[in-house]
Amino acid sequence: MELQPISNETRLSLSVTPGEASDRGLNVDVNNNRETHDSDSQVASRSRSGNASRVRARVHLAAMFLSMFLGASSGPLIPRMQKVYNVSFLVVSLTFVLSCIGFISGAIMNVHWTDKLGFGRMIVLGALLQIVGYSIQAPAPPFPLFVISFIFNGFGIAIQNAQANAYVASLKHNSELYMGMLHASYGAGALSSPLAATQFAQLQHWSFHYLVSLGLALSNTIVLTLTFRGRTQDECMALVGEEAPSGETSTSDRSNFRQILSLKSVHVMALFILVYVGVEVTIGGWITTYIIDVRGGGPSAGYISSGFFGGLMVGRVALLWLNKLVRRALEPYVGERRVLYIYAVLAIGMEFVVWFVPSLIGGAVAVSLVGLVLGPIYPIVMNQAGRVVPRWLLSGSIGWIAGFGQAGSALLPFMTGAIASKTGIKALQPLLISMMAMFPILWALVPSSPRRID
């Protein structure tokens, strides 16, 4: 084999002095170190960004938890209102009717105003309206003015409810968990409010209960203002690392309100929530009167209302594992739909116990268990709305659904008061059971798959 001579180019490339080799090695090390440092900086930056997003997400949710916290019931005050103002069941039920007017007005205006004002301004507006309502109620004004003030509360709660539910339903990660936590906060407020109301109902200045609500409403307004700073929902989502998906906009020349009205799924869920929230608030608002008049309970019977809302709060968090278990065992979405039927049957069974078992303690326990199994139903419905409603209509649709729910919170308690004025409060249990029997019927009509519209 013959060896070939080395070319000049090759000879030059090989003739490197030790110093040059050292310099080149140093340059390689420096470049590698720079690349490693840049990579580490990017990782650290992403980590800090992720941590900041998680912190913002928690702050956002905490702010909305407080807004939901203020939607609690003050049912134990109803007997005291009747005594102070010398009014019947029917007349005192006007507080629910005026709340209903506020709820429906808020649901309608939420659709129109959200596009103009945006998420951050709308949710603060709702908090400000609550301040107006509680400011009127606190000094116990004449009954007509006292009743009218409930319009402001209803309007404000409807707006906050719609915005908070739409925000959480739009989350891509752990929306079921956060929805359960959001509505557990409502249960927490509804649990603590009757505890306070039961004490105030026995005091001379019973209406000072609303001073507590006023203080919380002021805190709520400050927190919401500082947290969301008037941003739109998409801007808030971006701050917590949830970018709005591209292409999720309407191509229709119809207004959002008309598009919402064309969705059958929205109307079915709205009717379902109307009945559900009506049942929930009827139990919380009238169970104290039922226990006192039918079971012979004393003024402390107001704590049974707290037991119901305590069960509601616990159920919305503790039963999340059951929702996941059923969803994994069956198909996605269908599983969570099926578990709602289980909750409805259990709630009806417990309500029969309250009706037919003449035991004060047994009835109190059964009422708490009714709250436990009713608790997860509302978050399940809101999660389903997030799946089947187009994203650009979600806030308005949830506002419409939630507004009907709040209307139910006024209509059914008013019906109960009207019936009780004729037949007595003993009519409460058959009315509740007949309403609960509608749960599985209406839920079967809710679509399981999304319908996208242009």
Separation of alpha carbons 233 and 230, rounded Å: 9
Angle, to 10 degrees, between the axis of helix 94-117 and the axis of helix 119-137?
Answer: 150
Among candidate residues 241, 244, 222, the one with its CA nearest the CA of residue 233: 244
In this predicted structure, the answer to whether residue 373 has a pLDDT above a threshold of 70 is: yes
User: Angle 207-212-217 (CA atoms, 0-180°, nearest 5)?
Assistant: 120
Lowest mean pLDDT among 19-28, 186-195, 248-257: 19-28
Q: Are 313 and 188 in contact (CB under 8 A)?
A: yes
- How confident is the model at residue 430, as a pLDDT? 93
Long-range contact pairs involving 61-64 (C-beta distance under 8 Å, separation at least 24): 61/168, 61/178, 61/181, 61/182, 62/223, 63/220, 63/223, 63/224, 63/227, 63/228, 64/123, 64/160, 64/164, 64/167, 64/168, 64/182, 64/185
Q: Are 105 and 407 in contact (CB under 8 A)?
A: no
- How confident is the model at residue 247, as a pLDDT? 47
Structural domains present in the chain: 52-241+256-444 (1.20.1250.20)
- pLDDT greater at residue 107 or residue 240: 107
- How confident is the model at residue 35, as a pLDDT? 53
Lowest mean pLDDT among 72-81, 111-120, 325-334, 401-410: 325-334
Share of the chain above pLDDT 70, in %: 76
